[in-house]
Amino acid sequence: MKPTSLDTPAEVQSIHFALLRQATPGKKLKLTFDLIQMLRRLTPADVRHQFPNASDEELRRRLIARLLPREDVISAYGFDPANDDLRRTP
């Protein structure tokens, strides 16, 4: 088996995949929801880490720009994340 992670040994990945194959659908669903919750906490924390001096409004804009496609950001929020000037208010 080709490793899917560069920092995890292939034998450990094999065990991991075997455990996932044996898991019930409910357990797999719980793991999926747990991962989503973790991402919901880590993503804003990463934005705050990257821009420690940003205002709450700038952080909100940067988070929106990270989570949504550019066209949706422009349409729904009225700013273009490609401009990278997310400090201004529209």
The model's pLDDT over 44-60, given as tens digits with 9 standing for 90+, comes to 999 999 999 999 999 99
Report whether pLDDT(18) > 90.
Answer: yes
39-43-38 Cα angle (round to 5)? 20
Mean of pLDDT over the chain: 89
For the beta carbon of residue 23, count every other beta carbon within 10 angstroms. Answer: 13
**Token code pair at residue 4:** 């899917």
Alpha carbon of 80 to those of 39, 63, 74: distances in Å? 24, 13, 5
* Reported confidence tier of residue 82, pLDDT bands at 50, 70, 90: confident
**Residue 83 binned pLDDT confidence (cut-offs 50, 70, 90):** confident
How confident is residue 29, by pLDDT bands cut at 50, 70 and 90? very high
